[in-house]
Amino acid sequence: MEMMNSAVFLDRDGVLISDVDFVTKEDQIKILPGVCNALVMLALMQYRLIVVSNQPIVARGIIDENEVRRLHEIIVKRIELESSVLLDDFYFCPHHPEATIEKYRVKCGCRKPEPGMLLDAAKKHNIDLSKSYMIGDRITDCIAGSKAGCTAIQVLTGKHTEATIFTSSPVDLTYKPDFVCSSLLDAAQWIGNR
């Protein structure tokens, strides 16, 4: 039987890169301090590194899906240049319940706090979700990880103090992640010590 992989799922904005309102251009992409060191640590621990990101910017018609993919390629190249770590995959949800563009105005299973992106990645990469982690700055990232069966870690580097994102179903505001820390590097150290 084929061995299953473990993964660390990573939110994009506020975890890997600075969280600005709408990332549309290359010069807005700023890798956060300590991110490359954290990714090296996680790669050495043999985790698949998979980004899962809500991108309602598509639903609002600000940029299209291909432009999001182009920005992701830039992030992948920058991280690889700085750390020699190659991210394994990128997933993004282009939907929003109140999308400007009608085809994206759907109640989907991929917009976090729903776990759809993690579940899709698990199938594609043969991932054991019970031995995997979800790292995000928002509580909705962590809830998505928990729903998928992962250990959920909240990092305080993004917009974690802002109001909960708009979702189709209510968010459980009593939910607590498995671990809360100040950065991705702290999260990687915690994972390494488990």
Question: Which of 24-28, 107-111, 123-127, 157-161 shows the lowest per-residue confidence on average (mean pLDDT)?
Answer: 157-161
Task: Please report, for the chain, the start and end positions of each structural domain, with discontinuous segments joined by +.
Answer: 7-138+152-192
Would you list the DSSP string of 37-50? HHHHHHHHTT-EEE
Note whether 145 and 10 are within 8 A (CB).
Answer: no
Note whether 59 and 166 are within 8 A (CB).
Answer: no
pTM: 0.94
Strand partners, 151: 133
Whole-number Å distance between alpha carbons of 152 and 143: 7
What are the pLDDT digits (tens) for 149-159? Answer: 999 999 998 76
pLDDT of residue 12: 97
Note whether 83 and 36 are within 8 A (CB).
Answer: yes
The CATH architecture assigned to 7-138+152-192 reads 3-Layer(aba) Sandwich (3.40)
pLDDT of residue 168: 66
